[in-house]
Amino acid sequence: MAEISTIARPYAVAAYTLGKETKALAKWSEMLGFATAVANDAQMQAYIQDPKVIASDLQNTFLKVCGDKLNEQGQNLIKVLVEYNRMTILPAITSAFEALKAQDEGVLDAQIIAASKPSAAEVKDLVKRLEVKFGKKIEANVSVDAELIGGIKIIVGDTVIDASVKGQLQNLAYTLSA
């Protein structure tokens, strides 16, 4: 996985830089999202991965399916990806682009995993606290995992805050075995 993100990052940075310079980050976000949706289609994936399909046919077909959803610069990105046989990393490019865009906008994604469904007020309070802690706007994605037994686990970027019963039991087991 690290290899894919390593390859995808320069493309994402280039798209982000170009979007920032032309004040078209939203347009780039839209184009990359659409192109990724097309690339993720089961029939298109089979077509992309078919070794019998020549690059020019893949390029023409993909751009035809995308139609006017891609501007000239978006089409150029697709042409480069096809030329270097890198269409399969398009989702990783989109993901890296969105991360750069969110970072620039001062927004962090937080994954909140709770043992039981938290109320809207609890989530709102938690998001406020996270915004104070990280100094950025937080967009929270809440999920439930009964295996936590109780408590909550929060993941923001590389930071993990594990206040779950399962996490505490694992820490205790580690401490006792040391």
CATH of the domain at 26: 1.10.520.20
Q: Are strands 151-156 and 137-144 parallel, antiparallel or unpaired?
A: unpaired
User: Which pLDDT score, from 0 to 100, does residue 2 have?
Assistant: 52
Please give the Cα distance from 167 to 85 (Å, whole number). Answer: 43
Last residue within a domain, chosen from 54, 83, 102: 102
Tokens of 143: 């999920």
Kindly report, residue by residue over 95-145, the tens digit of the pLDDT: 999 989 988 888 888 999 999 999 999 999 999 999 999 888 999 999 999
Please give the Cα distance from 68 to 65 (Å, whole number). Answer: 9
Does residue 104 sit in helix, strand or coil? helix
pLDDT at 54 over 80: yes
Tokens of 9: 């990052």
Q: Please tell me whether residues 88 and 111 are part of one structural domain.
A: no
